[in-house]
Structure 1
Amino acid sequence: MTTKRGVRSGELPNIGVGSTEAERCDLTSRDVLDIVQHEIDELSRAASLLGDGQPESVARLRHQAAILTVVLEKAGH
Structure 2
Amino acid sequence: MSTPPNRSQDEVSTSDWFWTLLILSIPVLNLIMAVYWALSSHTKPSKKNFFLASFLWVFVLLGLALVAAFFQYAVKA
TMscore range, shorter length: 0.3 to 0.5
Q: Which has the higher helix share?
A: 2
For normalisation by structure 1, the TM-score amounts to: 0.36
Larger Rg: 1
Which structure's relative contact order is higher, taking Cα pairs within 8 Å and 6+ residues apart?
1
For normalisation by structure 2, the TM-score amounts to: 0.36
